[in-house]
A = this chain, B = another copy of it.
Amino acid sequence: MTRKPWTVRRSRTVLKDRWIHVNAEAVEDARGNLLDPFYTFEYPDWVHVVALTPSDELVLIRQYRHGAQDFCLELPAGGMDPGETDPVPAGARELLEETGYAAGSLRLVSSLSPNPASHRNRSHNLLALDVRKIAEPRLEPGEDITVELHPWQDVLARLDEGILPQVMHVSALLLCLRAAGRLRF
């Protein structure tokens, strides 16, 4: 492998809206091949919150997801708002908005990439401990969410069958449970 990044010859925005921003670039790879167009996505960073109650239950949400066309069990998660630069308060905000829960402690475990081939944003995994319900959820249009509490061991036992179908949430869950000392690997 050559240690040379691709060279961008041209770049243009082909789709931009509130929820999406696609760029089409003409790029030259390290061996001189021209790839045109090569598409990349600009999104805000995403936060995923692994929230454990004092009785060691996960605070999860179930909602209709139009990509999968199914009702999916997921972590509280979302995009960082304009002006938000720290994933920790962004995670606290998403947790509160989607579930009405707040955390006794909240910390960043890892910042990874949703898809380094195409995505320009980062995916932040947050561990929330000692979470308790302090309010009712505040839902936006398109959100129709039910909060569900599940013992984390039950969720882990059913990961292969897709109880948590969102792949990014599976990794967030496992990394944060390790950070919480619940798993050893």
Whether B67 and A120, one on each chain, are in contact in the complex, defined by CB atoms closer than 8 angstroms, is yes
Indicate with 1 or 0, residue by residue over A21-53, a CB within 8 angstroms of chain B CB atoms. 010010101110101011111000000000000
CB of B166 within 8 A of CB of A115, answer yes
**Does A171 make an interface contact (CB < 8 A)?**
yes
Q: Are B175 and A1 in contact (CB under 8 A)?
A: no
What is the bound-complex CA distance between A36 and B154, given in angstroms? Answer: 37
Is the Cβ of B19 less than 8 Å from the Cβ of A141? no
Candidates B69, B71, B72; contact of A3 at CB < 8 Å: B71
Contact A168 B165 (CB under 8 A): no
Contact (Cβ within 8 A) B183 A160: no
Contact of A5 among B29, B38, B64, B183 (CB under 8 A): B64
Which residues of B sit under 8 angstroms from A40, Cβ to Cβ? Answer: 66-67
Chain A to chain B contacts (Cβ below 8 Å), 9 pairs: A1-B64, A2-B144, A29-B144, A40-B67, A67-B120, A72-B116, A114-B167, A160-B175, A167-B168
Q: Which residues of A contact B (CB under 8 A)?
A: 1-6, 14-15, 17, 19-20, 22, 25, 27, 29-31, 33, 35, 37-41, 62-72, 74, 109-120, 123, 141-142, 144-146, 156, 159-162, 165-168, 170-172, 174-175, 177, 179, 183, 185
